Structure 1
Amino acid sequence: MKYLFLILTTMLFTSCNSDDNEQVIIDTDINISVKDVDGNDLLNTNNPNSFNQNEFKIFYEIDGEQIEVNDENLDYSKGFFVYQHESEFRIRIFPNTNKNASYPITYIRWSEMDIDTLKCEIDRNGSSEICKKVWFNNELVWQAYGTERFFEIIK
């Protein structure tokens, strides 16, 4: 019995690995408010002129092709969700982080006729991914690392 206890104790302590302490940080989400020229919130469904959120689609550019985001294993399978922040609504987008692209591109399809482009600079360190800069339709809109990754667009 002593030997069995000794063997089990030895196995317990040798199975622990101190190399498993690497932190994984995924910080890439982008928050956008969408207004019209009069300041009306186009993501607020109480606004009669709001966008139809059922038409929203996110596409990732991968190897030159646009691939629609639809992964049932994700919490937000379509790559986005709309939420209320204080007095406005925002869309949170989980952008393309393809490791094969220097600046991965994400397409936001608001409707059949309205598509915008997000491009991100992703800092990869080990297993971590952090969005450092965001371009919206080729215009740099966020790079203030110490601030919320948020901007407003006018449609």
Structure 2
Amino acid sequence: MKKYIVLIISLTIISCNEESVEELNSTLDVGLEFSIVNSNGEDILNPSHPDCIKESDIKLYYLIDGIKKEVYNPNYDFPRNFRIYEHQNEFRIGIFQNHSENEDKPLTYIQWNESETDTIEAAYYRSSNAIIQKKIWLNGDLIWESINGTNPYFILTK
């Protein structure tokens, strides 16, 4: 019996190729978090706030090859590539940005409602097994730069 176990383990190790090992060691760092407050500093992602931003109103669009495409992946845990969640004493929205290889600085559009849209632009470090964000702009203004390992987070006033 021990011979069979050793044989199975040996075959499993031999069957792993370099490509599958590289996939296991890949990094995709394209997330960004926002807290959103009104002019009074109130958390308007909080669903109990009377003027809250409703998750059902939010849509993400990626600009890919010059075409603005709505993000919807029904098989994903977060099909619209964002999620609203409670973080300590506030609500945040986590957004998975466009990381298209065809663009120097891929664009993500956040449509908050029918009349309000913000634009996120990101610069990435790319290698054969990693995509890591270096800089993020919101509506043309630099809001985050990869320094000292800080996570991309921004407080947005609406």
TM-score, normalised with respect to structure 2? 0.86
Which runs of at least 4 in structure 1 moved beyond 4 Å after TM superposition?
none
Residue in 2 that maps onto 1:105? 107
Q: Which residue of structure 2 lines up, in the alignment, with residue 35 of structure 1?
A: 37
Residue aligned with 1:130, SS: strand
Alignment RMSD, CA only? 1.9
Aligned-residue offset at 1:17: 4.1
Q: Which runs of 5+ in 2 are unaligned?
A: none
Q: What secondary structure is seen at the aligned counterpart in 1 of 2:11? A: helix
1:65-94 deviation line (CA, Å, top 9, x unaligned): 110000112221101000111111000000
> When the two structures are superposed, what TM-score results if normalisation uses the length of structure 1?
0.88
Q: Distance in 1 between matches of 2:11 and 2:51?
A: 63
Whether 2:18 is the aligned partner of 1:16: answer no
**Matches of residues 81-100 of structure 1 in structure 2 within 5 Å?**
81-100=83-102
Higher Rg: 1
Residue 147 of structure 1 is matched in structure 2 by: 150
- Mean Cα deviation higher: 17-26 or 74-83: 17-26
Equivalent position of 1:120 in the other structure: 122
- Decide whether the 8 Å contact of 2:133 with 2:146 is kept in 1: no
Instruction: After TM superposition, give the deviation of residue 53 of structure 1 in Å.
Output: 1.7
Structure 2 counterpart of 1:47, one-letter code: H
